[in-house]
Amino acid sequence: MAEAKSRVFSGVQPTGNLHLGNYLGAITRFVELQDTHDCLYCVVDLHAVTVWQDPDELTRNTREVTAAFLASGIDAETHIVFNQSQVPAHAELAWLLNCVARIGWLNRMTQFKEKAGKNRENASVGLFAYPVLMAADILAYRSTHVPVGEDQKQHLELSRDIAQKFNTDFARAIARAGHEAEFFPPPEPLIMGPATRVMSLRDGTRKMSKSDPSDLSRINLSDDADTIAKKIRRAKTDPNALPSEVEGLAARPEASNLVGIFAALSGRSAGDILKQFGGGPFSRLKDALADVAVDVLTPIGAETARLMDDPDHIDRILSRGAARASAIATPILEATRDVMGFVRAPHRR
Ligand code: AMP
Ligand code: TRP
């Protein structure tokens, strides 16, 4: 079934409600890739704690992201679903890669600048090193493909740089041990689909985000039908009629966002949607979009809630996934330690 040597890895942080951006930008891609690749889908709890998390909330959110994965169609039998903190290889490899990555590279990360804000001195060291842990997540499995939303592109490029620097820094030891020169294959980002950047419903120039203070800006996977419909009806628009052609969406961020969301949720093209709604008022598009959104999202919300009633079941899935993930990562981590020259007991070499 899977292509030789191709492995998909991606992660989602358990830091609050999953929203339509996560669903369209990431989770639907995760589901599609299951048909063609061996996949690991990780709830990245170690990333979450780069900003303070209430412990009870972290536990709940970790289970909830897992439940949403399963409810969306991720198959934890054929593929691997786990939480990051249960596989120590992530944290250990992150340390090794912290010593490969350069401060100058991390200083360029725009997400750190956004998240740290003005008070940079007070951000956690973990928040700064966040992208190195992400590289470790990916490289611990020698993953080849990483589906993410547009906002993670820069982090993926950094992961590639770290992989390449490791491969050159340790080229001699890698060759001596008989490994391929690409000890860590530079991972390919998969930023694809019609909605790699879903925008806020209140401001078409800002991305939909769980940190937006206005709940009206996003559709949460846990929202009920009335809430979804209400948020779409209240979504910001511009005063003009909808265009009949895709070209007419240029410089109209709110219109493009609503049409893009409609296209992604319905599997129709933007052109087809505009053929139907072009020339008319936003309200007609919004009514139809609300119906599609309710049809697609409410069953996922309901199934997530049902799974959340049995936390032990979720925890068993996660720990079984972690054991399977460890079985892949441990030999790669051991080979990494050997290449770097760390001493260990002779019988294990
Ligand atoms: P996070 O919740 O930050 O861990 O993000 C999980 C995944 O959702 C990542 O692949 C993000 O790139 C993706 N994502 C987050 N927000 C959006 C958005 N507004 N549009 C598209 N993808 C997004
Ligand atoms: N940083 C990603 C986000 O916020 C989550 C993430 C952590 C991730 N590790 C990863 C994504 C590895 C892809 C691969 O969206």
Give residue 157 CA to ligand 2 midpoint distance, Å. 13
How confident is the model at residue 192, as a pLDDT?
A: 81
Q: Is the distance from CB of 112 to CB of 106 less than 8 angstroms?
A: yes
Could you give the 3-state DSSP secondary structure of residue 194?
coil
Per-residue pLDDT, averaged over 133-156, amounts to: 96
Question: Token pair of 210, please?
Answer: 């769980």
State if residue 152 touches ligand 1 by the CB under 6 angstroms criterion: yes
- Between the CA of 241 and the centroid of ligand 1 the distance, in Å, is 30
Question: What spacing in Å lies between the alpha carbon of 230 and ligand 1's midpoint?
Answer: 23
Q: Mean pLDDT over residues 250-264, rounded?
A: 96
Which range, 46-55, 110-119, 190-199, is most confident? 46-55
Of 12, 13, 22, the one to substitute when testing ligand 1's pocket (max ligand atoms within 8 A of C-beta) is 22
| 49 pLDDT above the threshold of 50 | yes
Residue ranges per domain, the chain? 215-306
Report, as an integer, the average pLDDT of 303-314.
98
pLDDT band at 98 (very low <50, low <70, confident <90, very high): very high
Tell me which residue has its CA closest to atom 9 in ligand 2: 134
Give yes or no for residue 21 CB within 6 A of ligand 1: yes
HEC sequence for 166-188: HHHHCHHHHHHCCCCCCCCCCCE
Torsions phi, psi for 265 (to 5 deg): -75, -30
Residue 291 tokens read as 């119906």
Q: Taking 70 as the threshold, does the pLDDT of residue 347 lie above it?
A: no
CA 319 – CA 87 distance, rounded (Å): 9
**193 Cα to the center of ligand 1, angstroms:** 13
Cα 157 to Cα 2: distance, rounded to the nearest angstrom: 25
Q: Which amino acid is at 55?
A: P
Topology of domain 215-306 in CATH is: Tyrosyl-Transfer RNA Synthetase (1.10.240)
Q: What is the pLDDT of residue 1?
A: 47
* Atom 6 of ligand 2: nearest residue by CA position: 11
List, in order, residues 6 or more apart from 149 with CB less than 8 Å away.
21, 22, 25, 26, 191, 196, 197, 198
Is 230 catalytic? The answer is no
At residue 84, the pLDDT reads 98
Q: Which of 12, 27, 151 to mutate to test the pocket of ligand 1 (most atoms within 8 A of CB)?
A: 151
Residues enclosing ligand 2, CB less than 6 A? Answer: 9-11, 13, 44, 47, 134, 137-138, 146, 148, 152, 155
| CA–CA distance, 186 with 135 (Å, rounded to integer) | 10
Task: Provide the mean pLDDT of the chain.
Answer: 95
pLDDT of residue 314: 98
- Residue with CA at minimum distance from ligand 1 atom 11: 149
Give the dihedral of Cα atoms 66, 72, 74, 76; nearest 10 deg. 50
- Counting ligands in written order, the one closest to the CA of 195 is 1
Asked if the model's pLDDT at residue 29 lies above 80, the reply is: yes
From CA 144, how far away is CA 8, in angstroms rounded? 6
pLDDT at 348: 59
Instruction: Note if 113 is an active site residue.
Output: no
> Given this model, what pLDDT does residue 55 score?
98
Cα of 19 vs centre of ligand 1, distance in Å, is 9
CA of 242 to the centre of ligand 2 (A): 36
Residue 2: per-residue pLDDT: 46
Residue 303 CB neighbours (<10 A):
16
The pLDDT of residue 194: 75
Average pLDDT in the 15-42 region? 95
Q: Which amino acid is at 78?
A: T
Q: Based on the residue annotation, tell me whether 207 is a catalytic residue of this protein.
A: yes
pTM (two decimals): 0.94
Identify the residue with better confidence: 344 or 60.
Answer: 60
- Express each pLDDT in 209-226 by its tens digit: 998 999 999 999 999 999
